[in-house]
Chain A
Amino acid sequence: MEIGPFYVKDCALICRMAGVHPAVSLRELRARVEVCPTASLYHHFCETKVRPSFDDPEYQSDFAVWAARSLRDQALAERLGVINPYDYDDLEDLRAVVLDVLDDHLAGVPINPQAQRGDHFHFMQAMTVVFDTRVQIQTVPGLLPAITKMTPGSIYFHVIEARRRTPRGHDDFSTWLLPQGGAAAEIAQEMSLIDFYFLSLRELQERLVTLLKSHFPTSMAV
C-alpha cells in the first residue's frame, strides 16, 4: 500500500464567549454546564493547553481550577480534575459525567458555594484556524527532526485535536504510521501509550522526541 508523505499542519486558536451567562455559584455552574455548547465543554477541558497560562496548572480543566480557586472547594476540584475527557467517545457523555459529579457534590454540601465578585466562571469556546505549513515528512525517521522543530500549535493539532477529529480517536502520527506496519506500527503503538492529557505541550513534544530517538538514535536527517 502506497503511503504518501505526512503533511504538517499548524493551528491558531482564538477564544470567544460561548453565549452562556457566567456562573457565580456551584448551582449556577451546574445549570450552565447542562446547556452550554459542546464546543465550550471541549474548550474548558481540552483547549486549555493552548491558552496563555502559567507553567503547568495543577488541574487541566477550567472547571476544576474554578472550583479550587474561586469556590475554594478542594474536594470538588479534585473530583473534576481527575475527569479525562478522552475517556469518553462523545462530548455529551462527558457532559453527563460532569453533571453527575456536580449533582453528587451539591447533594452533599449544606450551602450553595459562591464565587467572589469578579470571579465568575465565564463560558468560552475557541475558533481554530488550521493551516498547511508546507512541510512534508517523507520517511518515518524524518518524524524525529520534524517533531523536534514543531510549534506548539502543530503538536496540539496532530496529537490532541486529532483525537476529536479522526474516526478512531488516534493522533495523526499514529494514523500515518500504523498502515506502514513493522517498526512504524510499533512506534504508533508506543505513541498511543503516552498519557498526553496531563502533559504540557512542550512536555508532550519532549516525550515524542525521546520515543523517536530510542528508535532512531543516530539519525536526525529527514
Chain B
Amino acid sequence: MTSFLDRYADIAGPDVIAGLRQLGSHFAGQRVVHVNSTREGGGVAEILRWLLPSMQDVGLDAVWETIEGDETFFEMTKALHNGMQGQEVTLTTSMMAAYEEANRRAAERLGPLLREADYVYIHDPQPAMLRNLIGPTKGHWVWRCHIDCADRSRAAWKFLQPLVETYDASVYSMPQFAPTLKHAQFIIAPSIDPLSDKNRPLARSEIDGVRREYKLDPGRPLLVQVSRFDRFKDPVGVIKAFRLVRRYFPVQLVLAGGGATDDPEGATVLKAVQEEAAGDDDIHVLFLPGDAHLEVNALQRAADIIIQKSTREGFGLTVTEGMWKGKPVIGGNAGGIRLQVFDYQTGFLVDTPEGAAQRILYLLRHPARIRKQGEQAREFVRENFLLTRHLREYLTLLLGLSMGLSDRIYAQAPTADDKAATVTKPV
C-alpha cells in the first residue's frame, strides 16, 4: 500500500520524500501533540489535516486535539485575533475569565497527554494559556502563530505576551510578524497539500458541473476570490474593483467563502457583502460549507484570474492554491501575499480597488500573459510552498529543539546499534 508521503513523490520528487524520511528517522516513536481551536474552517485546520498523517508517516506519533469553549470564549479569541491583526480591541474581565476557564478545562482533559508528549505545538492564541496551566512537562513547547501580527494592538499583546514567553520557541509565517521575545523565534511559511480535494487535479466535467451549478457564464472571463467573509479580506473592495473592470470588459465575479466556527463576525461581513452585491447578476456571493473543498477547487480552476485583495493576511493560502492551479493572482500588498506574488511574474500586488482594477484589465487584455504568469506561479509553488517543504521545516525545528537549538547541528541517523541522535561540533 502506498504511504501518505509516497503519494507526493511524483509532484515533489522522490529525493525530497527520501530526505523527509531521513529526518523522520530521528523521531521514531516520539509523540507530538498539536492543539488548535477548530477542526473545520480556516487555514490552521487545513494545515493540520495533512500535517498529522505526514508526521505519522515519518515515524512520529502525532496527535491533534482541539480546545472547546462557549460563546464568550470565542468572542475573546476573536478579539485577540483582531487585536493581533492591529484592530483596537477591549478585553473585558468576563471575556478573560471565559478564556481562562476554557483553557483550564482543556488542561484538565488533555493534561496527561500534554505532560508526556515529546513535543507540543500550540496553534494561535486560543489555547495559548495551556502551557501555563499544565505545570511541569517532559517535552518541548512551541507556540505557532498563524496570524499577521505585525501591527498587533497593545491590549491583545499585553494579554498574550506573558503566556507566550513561557514557551521554548515560537513560530511565525514571516519575520515581520515576530515580536521580540526571550525565546527563539522561527519563521516557517505555510504550504498547501496538492492532493487534497481543494487542490487535486479535476476533470473538465467536474469544473463545468460547478460552473452550471452556480450559473456562471463560460463565455465570459471569471474573477474569483475565495476567503472567509472577513473585513480584512476586503470583499467590498473586490466588488468595487470588479465594477471598475466591468465598465470596459464583460466579466463576472465570484466571492466564495465559508465561516470558521471560531469567527462570530463572519455573518456580519457576509451580510454587508450581500447588500453590496444585491441585484447584480454578475456578482455571485457563495457562502459555502466548510467541507466544500471540491467546489472551491473547481471555482479556482474555472477562474481566469484569482483575487485575494486582503488588507491584512497571515500567509494567504488561497493565493498559493490559486497559483498551484496555474492562475495569476491579484493580491493585496499585505502579509504573506508579498512572499508569493511578484509583479509581472506570478500576478500583481495592489493597494487599492483601483489598482486591482487596473491590473485585472491589463491581464484580460493580454491573455498570453495570463497563461505565462499562471505557469510561473505553479512552478513557484512547486518549488517553495508544497507541504513537503513545510514538513521538512517542522521536523528540522523539532530536531533543533531536541538538540539545543545551536546554529549547526550534526545529526547522526540512528542505526541498529545506536538509536540515539547525537550532536557534534562542526569541523
Residues on A close to B: CB < 8 A?
10, 12-17, 21, 39, 52-55, 118, 120, 122, 124-134, 149-151, 153, 165-166
A/B interface sample: 27 pairs, CB < 8 A: A10-B19, A10-B22, A12-B23, A14-B396, A14-B400, A15-B187, A16-B186, A17-B178, A17-B184, A54-B345, A54-B346, A55-B376, A125-B407, A127-B405, A127-B407, A128-B407, A128-B408, A128-B409, A129-B23, A129-B396, A129-B399, A129-B411, A130-B409, A131-B23, A131-B26, A133-B19, A149-B15
* B185 within 8 A of partner (CB): yes
* Cβ-closest chain A residue relative to B401: A127
* B214 within 8 A of partner (CB): no
**Nearest-CB distance from B398 to chain A (Å)?**
10
**Nearest-CB distance from B341 to chain A (Å)?**
10
B396 touches A52 (CB 8 A): no
Add 6 more A-B contacts to A12-B23, A52-B384, A129-B399 (CB < 8 A): A14-B187, A55-B376, A118-B176, A127-B397, A127-B409, A129-B409
Residue from B408, B411, B426 with most neighbouring chain A CB atoms (10 Å): B408
B411 touches A17 (CB 8 A): no
**Nearest-CB distance from B168 to chain A (Å)?**
13
Inter-chain contact total with CB atoms closer than 8 Å: 101
A131 touches B411 (CB 8 A): yes
- The one of A16, A149, A151 that contacts B184, using a Cβ cutoff of 8 Å: A16
A165 touches B400 (CB 8 A): no
- The one of A53, A126, A132 that contacts B407, using a Cβ cutoff of 8 Å: A126
**Nearest-CB distance from A203 to chain B (Å)?**
14
A127 with B400, Cβ < 8 A, contacts A17-B185, A132-B412, A165-B426 known: yes
With A and B bound together, what is the CA distance between A53 and B385 in angstroms?
A: 10
With A and B bound together, what is the CA distance between A125 and B405 in angstroms?
A: 12
B176 touches A120 (CB 8 A): yes
A17 with B176, Cβ < 8 A, contacts A12-B393, A39-B407, A165-B426 known: no
B189 touches A52 (CB 8 A): yes
* B292 within 8 A of partner (CB): no
- The one of B16, B346, B405, B427 that contacts A165, using a Cβ cutoff of 8 Å: B427
B396 touches A17 (CB 8 A): no
List the 9 shortest-distance A-B pairs measured between CB atoms, nearest first: A52-B384, A122-B175, A12-B396, A17-B185, A15-B187, A14-B396, A131-B411, A129-B409, A16-B186
Residues of chain B within 8 A of A16, CB atoms compared: 184-187
With A and B bound together, what is the CA distance between A14 and B385 in angstroms?
A: 14
A127 touches B396 (CB 8 A): yes
**Nearest-CB distance from B396 to chain A (Å)?**
4
Residues of chain B within 8 A of A17, CB atoms compared: 175, 178, 184-187
With A and B bound together, what is the CA distance between A108 and B280 in angstroms?
A: 57
Residue from B176, B184, B185, B407 with most neighbouring chain A CB atoms (10 Å): B407
**Nearest-CB distance from A175 to chain B (Å)?**
11
* B188 within 8 A of partner (CB): yes
Residues of chain B within 8 A of A165, CB atoms compared: 426-427
**Nearest-CB distance from B192 to chain A (Å)?**
13
B393 touches A130 (CB 8 A): no
B188 touches A14 (CB 8 A): yes
With A and B bound together, what is the CA distance between A209 and B57 in angstroms?
A: 33
A interface footprint on B173-193 (CB within 8 Å = 1, 0 otherwise): 001101010001111110000
With A and B bound together, what is the CA distance between A126 and B380 in angstroms?
A: 22
* B389 within 8 A of partner (CB): yes
- The one of B22, B380, B409, B426 that contacts A54, using a Cβ cutoff of 8 Å: B380
B187 touches A134 (CB 8 A): no
* Cβ-closest chain A residue relative to B187: A15
With A and B bound together, what is the CA distance between A165 and B397 in angstroms?
A: 22
With A and B bound together, what is the CA distance between A55 and B26 in angstroms?
A: 32
Q: Which residues of B376-420 are within 8 A (CB) of A? A: 376, 380, 383-385, 389, 392-393, 395-397, 399-400, 403, 405-413
Residues of chain A within 8 A of B186, CB atoms compared: 14-17, 127
With A and B bound together, what is the CA distance between A157 and B419 in angstroms?
A: 25
* Cβ-closest chain A residue relative to B424: A130
With A and B bound together, what is the CA distance between A134 and B383 in angstroms?
A: 25
A131 touches B393 (CB 8 A): no
A129 with B400, Cβ < 8 A, contacts A14-B186, A14-B393, A54-B342 known: yes
**Nearest-CB distance from B330 to chain A (Å)?**
17
Residues of chain A within 8 A of B163, CB atoms compared: none
A13 touches B396 (CB 8 A): yes
* B133 within 8 A of partner (CB): no
A134 with B407, Cβ < 8 A, contacts A12-B23, A52-B384, A149-B15 known: no
* Cβ-closest chain A residue relative to B191: A52
B187 touches A130 (CB 8 A): no
With A and B bound together, what is the CA distance between A132 and B23 in angstroms?
A: 9
* B339 within 8 A of partner (CB): yes
Residues of chain B within 8 A of A55, CB atoms compared: 345, 376, 380
* B244 within 8 A of partner (CB): no
* B134 within 8 A of partner (CB): no
B410 touches A130 (CB 8 A): yes
B22 touches A133 (CB 8 A): yes
Residue from A10, A12, A126, A153 with most neighbouring chain B CB atoms (10 Å): A12
* B150 within 8 A of partner (CB): yes
A52 touches B385 (CB 8 A): yes
A151 touches B15 (CB 8 A): yes
* Cβ-closest chain A residue relative to B334: A118
With A and B bound together, what is the CA distance between A165 and B427 in angstroms?
A: 6
Residues of chain B within 8 A of A133, CB atoms compared: 18-19, 22
**Nearest-CB distance from B419 to chain A (Å)?**
15
With A and B bound together, what is the CA distance between A84 and B238 in angstroms?
A: 45
With A and B bound together, what is the CA distance between A198 and B384 in angstroms?
A: 20
**Nearest-CB distance from B23 to chain A (Å)?**
6
* Cβ-closest chain B residue relative to A19: B180
